Structure 1
């Protein structure tokens, strides 16, 4: 499955082969989310996130399998995949965006990434404040942003509404390496 995701991301970026030297890949990026409520906090981590950055074009793409999120409790995993995200119908989340005013010559910068986030069959325009570090030619991007559950048409039964926050905090970190086939 990861090879299919990689192919889709690469086909998005590989409009011309000369730009391949300006692309880097993060094969094990990290995305986590946190939902705070007075009843119970919900937290999950996904360390199998695939991302490609083309720094010459200031473009980024991210793809992840929803079933790769790891929870502290098995029941949370089951509810997340079966009842809320419906991973059988919507197995992936994707993001494609542009880093605004990106300067590939700077070692450290904080920029806004504007793009489209696709979750649960819904695409939404978002802006994400992102820290970008360059070390020995390789990039690391990290940041956090919030999403509203209702924006992605995730249904929460009224009886469980107090157990799940309306706003979910998402954190990410991608460490890129040069792409090699």
Structure 2
């Protein structure tokens, strides 16, 4: 996971002429969760091992997570999710690389959550799709808080639902991203105390 985070950081910092880190934030413990209401039983999972980098100097952002990091209330659900649906041995991670649209970092000087649009490529189950997502960002106590909620259709990522349960599982799930990032203290590190 540390190699993946370093790769994300290098990709975002590549081509940035200044080593000054103002406007860059990262986390290794972001949260991505999803929820799907079904007639049989609601499906919910959380992954708190999300590496993310946000750079307001360039407007870029990226995150990466291991699919097996999703935790379910029921171990059988988790097993089916990894083996039958997301095939996590074959497709071990999901990534997003993109940028903020028409968002000025100077907005963060004003207290409160600020609406933003994020656009980029989401890769899941070996399929990459271009998406545009509404988000909010807020600078509070030195931390950058970023949130987004958006739908993901299993068919868009070639995730097959077995015929036996096809009518019992939602075809679109709600994905929630919740990041609490610290400022980067240099070109390759994070702020003291982290």
Which TM-score band applies after superposition, normalised by the shorter structure?
A: over 0.9
* Counterpart in the other structure of 1:27: 28
Offset, 1:11: 2.1
Structure 1 residue runs without a partner (length 5+): none
Any runs of at least 4 consecutive aligned residues in structure 1 with deviations exceeding 6 A, and if so which? none
Q: Deviations along 1:35-80, whole A, 9 cap, x unmatched?
A: 1111111000011111000111111101000001010000000000
Alignment of 1:171 with 2:176, yes or no, is yes
Q: Tell me the SS of whatever aligns to 2:164.
A: helix
Per the normalisation by structure 2, the TM-score is 0.88
Structure 2 residue runs without a partner (length 5+): 190-194
Offset, 1:170: 0.4
Q: Deviations along 1:111-139, whole A, 9 cap, x unmatched?
A: 11011100000000111100111124431
Q: Which moved more, 1:8-17 or 1:25-34?
A: 8-17
Alignment of 1:46 with 2:47, yes or no, is yes
* Counterpart in the other structure of 2:84: 83
Q: Tell me the SS of whatever aligns to 1:105.
A: helix
* Counterpart in the other structure of 1:18: 18
Alpha-carbon distance change, 75 to 134 in structure 1, aligned in 2, over 3 angstroms: same
Q: RMSD value over aligned CA atoms?
A: 1.3
Q: Which moved more, 1:66-75 or 1:161-170?
A: 161-170
